[in-house]
Structure 1
């Protein structure tokens, strides 16, 4: 056995793969299960199934390699280098543009399918992450805020925000084998939506409400008055807590600020800084949980939202608040920017 391992280790990477493929067949003929073969070779069971099927059909696990023997490669190393340079210079270039450039610059005629296969070998198309463009003034405000709160634990803060949930949120990726068709997910009609407002703090959940209609300064003030100051006073004592929300127009309205100042303090919060409100992480968790359950009606949507809220615990919420300190440190390192 030790001699077998020693010989195996002397093989090149390609030779090791070939040896493992033949080992699959040997173990299969010896009566090993797919799981046992997978544990020994490292191949997933899907690959093992295909190797055995190929062996049964052609009597060889290397049929594709043998059938291509001697075939000249369509793209040589110079072609590949040229394509990589083109993709590096223009990350949004199309396959047709690459095809045209390859023809003009390298005098090489290549099909779009060949270019697509090579493009997939060296990378993949991904949507860019969206980040707001920060003004210089707001970068300074974010930086100063982070310096001020670098050691803050936010123990008496109540973080608030509102967000939309929809029944047709589909963000979870699905693994698809090359031989399979792209999966289809049904879209429910109509596209029902629910606006949800919630508040959290170091002591856990504070309150939640599903809102009918839109938020303006009048409806936002009424919303706050339904829950405060009672919720804050019960948690921290009368007036010993702070409300933190972002700079949405309804939040900044004079009538709203004046009322909050009669019952407690408004925590400072720099503009263009959703990353500094830990409740954004809560929304992401809740939306993922609701999405996994695939609500079909608004009634189901609202029910799943409230069940997700009920499942949240104090430890999870505190992890979101602790993450705020990590963001603060990154903002300091980037001098107020959000490119991290």
Structure 2
């Protein structure tokens, strides 16, 4: 084999195989003196790399996979092959739904202020509100407990007849530091909002004509933050 006068490209053309494969075989021959691949230990793989990528791309159910490769294959094997491609199952993150107009507004907002330098942002007051759950998260809670501790107070998640308990808070931050944390003691509608806080995110209570008048009276200029 080593005395053949053909170059790698010619060998690849004659054998109808990739040139990289020809080069790999030649290197193996020069190192070991033969081109025979020794038998491997263990059960042969049910699928190859290409089939694993196809499973990941198409998310094939078990029945379709058997048709594709002509072998009986379990769901566990399919999950393993998909995992080898770097895909992992995760719970979807919760984010506010954005229409196309919202995405355009956010892009325009970013471009409008992208050239502002640090000293410019020192003149900006960033505000925001959020809801804090009084008894932890509203999602699933995991605890480590023994079998008989199923109803132990430390191992249960409290529920209430009047839905979950939460409180809305508001605060601000600017170049000189963090503002006070304000607890909203009532439902935030337009009237209550104008009395206690400033927050610009296109929410209905933040964009009423009366709210805009309050901003003008306070000599505040809104950055028109998009939704």
SS at 2:187 equivalent: coil
Please give the residue correspondences for 1:1-340 in structure 2 after superposition, counting only pairs within 5 Å. Answer: 70-77=41-48, 80-89=49-58, 93=59, 97-123=60-86, 124-128=88-92, 130=95, 132-136=97-101, 139=104, 142-143=107-108, 146-148=111-113, 150-152=115-117, 153-166=120-133, 167-169=135-137, 186=155, 188-190=157-159, 191-224=164-197, 245-272=200-227
2-structure distance, mates of 1:75, 1:170? 43
- 1:217, distance to aligned residue in structure 2 (A): 0.2
2-structure distance, mates of 1:146, 1:252? 22
Structure with greater proportional helix content: 1
SS at 1:266 equivalent: coil
2-structure distance, mates of 1:186, 1:155? 46
SS at 1:200 equivalent: strand
Maintained 8 Å contact 1:142/1:271 = no
2-structure distance, mates of 1:266, 1:187? 48
SS at 1:85 equivalent: helix
- 1:144, distance to aligned residue in structure 2 (A): 5.9
TM-score, normalised to structure 2, is: 0.60
Unmatched segments (≥5 aa) in structure 1: 1-68, 175-184, 225-242, 273-340
Larger radius of gyration: 2
- 1:271, distance to aligned residue in structure 2 (A): 1.9
2-structure distance, mates of 1:162, 1:115? 45
Structure 2 equivalent of residue 38 of structure 1: none
Q: Deviations over 1:246-267 (max 9, x none)?
A: 1111111111111121122232
- 1:140, distance to aligned residue in structure 2 (A): 5.7
- 1:117, distance to aligned residue in structure 2 (A): 2.9
RMSD (CA atoms): 3.2
- 1:196, distance to aligned residue in structure 2 (A): 1.1
Unmatched segments (≥5 aa) in structure 2: 1-39, 143-153
SS at 2:211 equivalent: helix
1-structure distance, mates of 2:43, 2:113? 65
